[in-house]
Chain A
Amino acid sequence: MTRPLLIENARIVNPASGTDSKGAVLIENGLVSDIALGAPIGIPDGAEVINAKGLILAPGLIDMRVFTGEPGKEYRETLASAGEAAAAGGVTSFVMMPDTSPVVDDGALVDFLIRRAKATSKVNVLPAGAITKGLAGQEMTEFGLLKEAGAVCLTDGRQSIQSSALLRTVMSYAANYGMTVVHHVSDQSLTGDGVMNEGLFATILGLKGIPREAETIPLARDLQLAALTGATYHAAQISCAASVELMAAAKKRNKSVTSGVSINNLALNENDIGRYRTFFKLGTPLRSEDDRQAVIEGLRSGAIDTIHSDHDPQDTEVKRQPFAEASDGAIGLETLLAAALRLHHSGDVALMTILRAMTSRPAEILGLPSGRIAKGAPADLILVDLDYPWQVSERDLRSRSRNTSFEGARLGGKVMRTIVGGETVFEHVD
């Protein structure tokens, strides 16, 4: 039994309850055992006391979309290295995409990952089960067995199921087990060999464009199928204004549909590609500034529920290529919070909304007990200095891969301490 831990003199920001107040939190046996707002709290015998000195105390972040390399591509990322990066970024739980080698399409692999993560990772690793065997988009996996083994949701990761009939069956069957279907919306034939947002900038660079309709057409289909089947559906990541409109309209009729946005689409736009910078080549392409503004508005209005890192470690070999030939993806666990806080500092989005999208909303969508500061909830907490200035340098990042799209970026806000299950797993040292 570990010592009780008291965090006092904090600014508690808890999106689940809408609380933003000075106070203290007591942690016992890995759980939050008491919360005192305003008034001081009694210090139990033998408790360790942390004076937060006015820092924000918030629930640890839950990142709904993280790719790792374990098993199969450990040179890109292991559960341990992803855990280090997550802890430093204030991410206390992340949903691990199933596109490992082998693919997580079997309950036994989910079980293995949970054990392996417990042994090696500093943060909670929540495996997602594949929707289709081998992510091939053909045959369904065993949803019930995956759930029993501990899969938190179903997704084919960066793969998008093209067959509407199969997707209908998937949604019906997933609803059977109360599992959320998290789907990457991308029409393969419209995407074609496109590599960036379609438009003037792609034309100037001589690169093939991906039209927004490659996202909105499957999204519209998915939302109709979700209504038809009664499934709990989460559009994995949307990027453009028309998708925000589709989500807003669907949500008026159906409370079981939600959507996420990658921090990249919130913080960056297609112009960041500059002259073929491949760290900005992403599976969901960076869109125009108008689209970026629209997804920010979607976050404010509630059309978009969650923000995730889309952490996707890729090695130099596959990134240092001509743009069209380079792999998609950028790492993001460590920069997620600070990049999202840009929207707070710029006055675009309220702090509570930003944090909600990375704590209580993902927890609700996945049915997790974490993501909130509540008596009896897991003590997954972060202490944040909202204004701490720092500059991103790939050399300082803890991920095993270096493909950050925020290299050199000046960010404001940093995690000073990360607590998982009552244990401090990261402490910032100046």
Chain B
Amino acid sequence: MAQARASKSTSSAASSGDFPPFSQKHLLSIADLKQHEIVDLLDRAERMVPVSRQERKSHPTLSGKTQINLFFEPSTRTQGSFEIAGKRLGALVMNMSVKTSSVSKGETLVDTAATLNAMRPDVIVVRHSAAGAVELLSQKVGCAVINAGDGAHEHPTQALLDALTIRNHKGRISGLTVAICGDIANSRVVRSNLLLLGALNVRTRVIAPRNLLPAGIEHLATEVFTDMREGLKDADVVMMLRLQHERANGRMIPSVREYYRFYGLDAEKLAFAKPDAIVMHPGPMNRGVEIDPAIADGPASVITDQVEMGVAVRMAVLDALLPARNSEGNAA
């Protein structure tokens, strides 16, 4: 890891040939990754950071490759991030937004997979509202598949970009205390993060009202809190989650104002965390619902860094999954 950080000072990205071949065909979940593969992806991503900081933001290891972004759920930032990542690597990127995830009308997911497969893409980036949908699609295509979020299951690139952001700010990941607060029950970001951080020996905490904590969560997080102040005590990292507005309609949460009072991050609650704690949010944020705007835009916030690391992580993942480079026959 020290080597990789040192590479930050180099002016251009090193060739991905410096890394041993990545052993996975797809990136479907953090659960599939071994610890060394996680660290490998973070190191690769580290090398990609400078590419986007250059004037000429190009590192065309994927030239001649086709990347399809298949989004069954709308997403501005994740889709945009994958698109920029693919384009900076020189891939031909096509965006397909499928308005409905319902299968009742028209073709099924498996049909869609077969259709896209026939177009011979090299990688498909998929977001779908149903847990397991991306894995199902991966079984029906010949190319690499990246999970850009499947239901409440996983969002592996989010967890990787979060980890890279943490590592850059804290110098390490192992041994830190990371508190994740919000709608734990319905969040794919939480699941991927708990798996990734758990693999890297992080003390993980989840904080939420009881009805937003899923069954068995105590087996996935190191500690579980319903009191936010207790949960934030001495945390190195505070990760806030978006509260879907539709959950604050009296059926899950009585009101936004009550939620904000007890689970919104403000200066008073943040003071329980370590003085140098960083504040993260996967976006899009609801200012005044789960986070005080002054915190979101304040000195502890690393939210825009997360977005930048997102591009680097996605470049690294694309680069790692598409091994046959130099289609023109150039030597690596």
Residues of A at under 8 Å CB distance from B?
198-209, 275-276, 317, 320-325
Rounded to whole angstroms, the CA-CA distance of A317 and B215 in the bound complex is 31
Tell me whether B151 and A324 are in contact (CB under 8 A): yes
Tell me whether B136 and A322 are in contact (CB under 8 A): yes
Rounded to whole angstroms, the CA-CA distance of A341 and B219 in the bound complex is 35
Tell me whether B188 and A321 are in contact (CB under 8 A): no
Rounded to whole angstroms, the CA-CA distance of A342 and B214 in the bound complex is 34
Tell me whether B151 and A199 are in contact (CB under 8 A): no
Q: Could you count the A-B residue pairs with CB atoms below 8 Å apart for me: how many are there?
A: 75
Query: Chain A contacts of B131 at CB under 8 A?
Result: 205-207, 276, 322-324
Tell me whether B219 and A206 are in contact (CB under 8 A): no
Query: Chain A contacts of B152 at CB under 8 A?
Result: 206-208
Query: Chain B contacts of A205 at CB under 8 A?
Result: 131-132, 153
Rounded to whole angstroms, the CA-CA distance of A269 and B53 in the bound complex is 52
Residue of A nearest to B102 (CB): A325
Interface centre among A205, A275, A276, A325 (most CB of B within 10 A): A325
Residue of A nearest to B136 (CB): A322
Rounded to whole angstroms, the CA-CA distance of A200 and B110 in the bound complex is 28
Q: Knowing that A322-B132, A324-B131 are A-B contacts, what are 18 other residue pairs whose CB atoms are under 8 Å apart, sorted by A's residue number?
A: A200-B215, A200-B216, A200-B219, A202-B216, A203-B215, A204-B31, A205-B153, A206-B150, A206-B152, A206-B188, A207-B132, A275-B135, A276-B131, A276-B132, A322-B130, A322-B133, A322-B151, A324-B130
Tell me whether B103 and A199 are in contact (CB under 8 A): no
Tell me whether A321 and B108 are in contact (CB under 8 A): yes
Tell me whether B135 and A320 are in contact (CB under 8 A): no
Tell me whether B110 and A320 are in contact (CB under 8 A): yes
Residue of A nearest to B132 (CB): A276
Rounded to whole angstroms, the CA-CA distance of A284 and B231 in the bound complex is 37
Interface centre among A201, A203, A276, A323 (most CB of B within 10 A): A203
Check if B128 is an interface residue, CB within 8 A of chain A: yes
18 chain-A/chain-B pairs, Cβ below 8 angstroms = A199-B215, A200-B220, A201-B216, A202-B215, A203-B216, A203-B217, A204-B31, A204-B220, A205-B132, A206-B151, A207-B152, A275-B132, A276-B131, A276-B135, A321-B103, A321-B108, A322-B132, A322-B150
* 7 A-B pairs closest in CB distance: A200-B216, A206-B153, A276-B132, A322-B130, A206-B131, A206-B152, A322-B133
Residue of B nearest to A316 (CB): B110
Tell me the minimal C-beta distance from A211 to chain B in angstroms.
8
In chain B, positions 78-108 with a C-beta closer than 8 Å to chain A are: 103, 108
In chain B, positions 104-152 with a C-beta closer than 8 Å to chain A are: 108-110, 128, 130-133, 135-136, 150-152
Rounded to whole angstroms, the CA-CA distance of A338 and B136 in the bound complex is 31
Residue of B nearest to A201 (CB): B216
Tell me the minimal C-beta distance from A212 to chain B in angstroms.
11
Contact with A along B209-250 (1 / 0, CB 8 A): 000001111011000000000000000000000000000000
Residue of B nearest to A197 (CB): B215
Rounded to whole angstroms, the CA-CA distance of A10 and B144 in the bound complex is 59
Check if B191 is an interface residue, CB within 8 A of chain A: yes
Query: Chain B contacts of A324 at CB under 8 A?
Result: 130-132, 151
Tell me the minimal C-beta distance from B98 to chain A in angstroms.
13
Say whether, besides A317-B108, A321-B108, A203 and B132 are in contact (CB < 8 Å).
Answer: no
Residue of B nearest to A195 (CB): B131
Check if B162 is an interface residue, CB within 8 A of chain A: no
Tell me the minimal C-beta distance from A132 to chain B in angstroms.
25
Say whether, besides A206-B153, A206-B154, A206-B188, A323 and B217 are in contact (CB < 8 Å).
Answer: no
Query: Chain A contacts of B220 at CB under 8 A?
Result: 200, 203-204
Query: Chain B contacts of A198 at CB under 8 A?
Result: 215
Tell me the minimal C-beta distance from B85 to chain A in angstroms.
24
Tell me the minimal C-beta distance from B91 to chain A in angstroms.
27
Rounded to whole angstroms, the CA-CA distance of A208 and B252 in the bound complex is 15
Query: Chain A contacts of B108 at CB under 8 A?
Result: 317, 320-321
Rounded to whole angstroms, the CA-CA distance of A199 and B218 in the bound complex is 11
Say whether, besides A322-B128, A325-B103, A199 and B136 are in contact (CB < 8 Å).
Answer: no
Residue of A nearest to B128 (CB): A322
Residue of B nearest to A207 (CB): B131
Rounded to whole angstroms, the CA-CA distance of A339 and B106 in the bound complex is 38
Tell me whether B109 and A204 are in contact (CB under 8 A): no
In chain B, positions 166-223 with a C-beta closer than 8 Å to chain A are: 188, 191, 214-217, 219-220
Tell me whether B132 and A323 are in contact (CB under 8 A): yes
A276 CB contact (under 8 Å) in B136, B154, B214, B216: B136
Rounded to whole angstroms, the CA-CA distance of A275 and B134 in the bound complex is 11
Rounded to whole angstroms, the CA-CA distance of A199 and B109 in the bound complex is 27
Rounded to whole angstroms, the CA-CA distance of A133 and B188 in the bound complex is 42
Tell me whether A204 and B132 are in contact (CB under 8 A): no
Residue of A nearest to B104 (CB): A325
Rounded to whole angstroms, the CA-CA distance of A204 and B31 in the bound complex is 10
In chain B, positions 7-37 with a C-beta closer than 8 Å to chain A are: 31
Tell me whether B216 and A199 are in contact (CB under 8 A): yes
A322 CB contact (under 8 Å) in B109, B154, B191: B109
Residue of B nearest to A206 (CB): B153
Tell me the minimal C-beta distance from B214 to chain A in angstroms.
4
